[in-house]
Chains A and B, each alone.
Chain A
């Protein structure tokens, strides 16, 4: 071991252990489902739970009274997510069914779950290969990851009250976290309550549609399964053909909920607590609403005019207004904020329409939402500062702060946003290069658009792309090395790169 380490790694790991032990309580859900459906994989989840608790408690022994500082926050957040994915993968391996029994595939599926990506390496998504409890666990990982594991831990573990803000800031998507209440735990609770509330509402509505006969196959199991993956912008579905398997009523119902998931949950909290103005006046919300509306409108027109567009499952889409609007609205809502549900094989769309979807993938959700990607706020700041750049070229002496929500942004914050976006795009481009090279190495036939979307779909936590990684395809074909790279991409994409990246620098550990 090197000396002069400036990071209290024992305290960090101890805290990670605490969170892990606490998180393993989530295995109770698949255990209950297992008991309800015959207990096929009961022992798998009991064993996984025991293993996770044991691992968590032993990590705790490293430092019985951890006092992690600002620097340890990055390590705690990055490792918590890595460990969550690793221990979340244990049931897939233990059950030994299908393609996900392979450890790398299992880790891929688990990381894709917790980071709410929704990319899958399951060859056969059906209850014939996998038990019902296993499929529910896959859905649940997305729900746990959606609002954030750390946020959940801060909300419940009193030990994390001090320093919790730092941890949450490292985890929450988008720049900055706003403390709603003096106690950070209270803020975390508020966010989770809003999240739980919307999830419960969606489950109730989905099941309600089933009860009144508008959604024949949306039984209680499916209602929970899709409630668990809509609000976290996840995208997993126990149905092989994703949302296409459900009635138009279900598809229409999911559109607003996917939209809700892409909005800053702080704003939802304000709305629920009787302050709708905070939501209506928020610049980012308006921009997000506007962007989704315009993209949906353009998409609808494109699909409507494309007379050739039809698939065996959907029937004729071109020329049919309801279908054009439904498929466009659903796919735009799903891909803009990185959910990744599909209500049809959008790979069949025309070139320009697919270009529109690719554009939407780069937008991302809002700050403080459960969506991934570059985030609306960053694009707004970049657009505004570029406009300022043009103005100051004409008037060199002009002093123009970049305004957001009535206030002005700090120049350092703008610099940070540029740095993040540039790094994000660089990593995205590097991903194209590495994936293409790796595919060529093993002789895998991969189209350009396939590689491009595979890179952004994993880094942006979206899930499906085009071609082989299209909505009805998957990531199984990729070589193991590519899968490992994509696991890394999902991980850094969820944590917005820096918390993981700093761990790889010598300066973090030594100076």
Chain B
């Protein structure tokens, strides 16, 4: 059942903020008390990165209504640019937190540039072209980064393509080493940083959705022809949503890269894009809290208690995804669920709004 009356969105937004803040306080206190196993502790920052990627993709899929199958590509851009920036600043006397912030900013900025490059030609088209082009974009980025060599010497950054010999001078250091990716990253991203970025992204998305531009974006999702007939520039607003989404994915990528020792291009492949899409679909299109919960559960479970099944991860996700679609679209099952969980009855509709 879709609800007849749409409640003020602000209440739901505050619940989302509240859940995120509460979760952070609990996690931070458990970590500082030393009660968290170190294996799990290492998963917290990547989890934040996946949450950011999921809510950013939800902006494209749920709010803008366009399918992006290459979101990991934007993460990749953010990860490699961000990590390069962080390593280039290494030893320049910049404090860790500032290096982190710079890396995230550089990652977000360059992912936004990539978003413009992909979006400008494609968002003018109608239909599923964005999905096809983003899918190709993800693969192109992977191939480009696999063949990219970046080094640093006292003269500055040196970049090479296909050829590992980039003529590093004395005291030079390889940063991006082709197929081996970036290794020897100092892990400078923290849970606090991840939490702050999640909160920032949520504020940006919620404030955007509840504003003139956000309404224009949702109008385009619901009915493009009607939106243009009331004077909304389709390309401009689609591009705006897509670029913001790409920038957030870039920030997520930078955050992720700085929580790992080694990052390779293969990490951000098609499977990762689909994984993020699964988070979004399972959490509910347009439902940010849903994306956060889905990303948390689906990232932590396979990495910890369900480790032995992790080889079958994509298989299980596919089955879960199909089951979800069948269940949420089956009237009989929904009535049955409504009887089983009377208090859920009204909430059913929220995922659709």
Same complex for A and B? Answer no
Give chain A's interface residues, CB within 8 Å of chain B: none
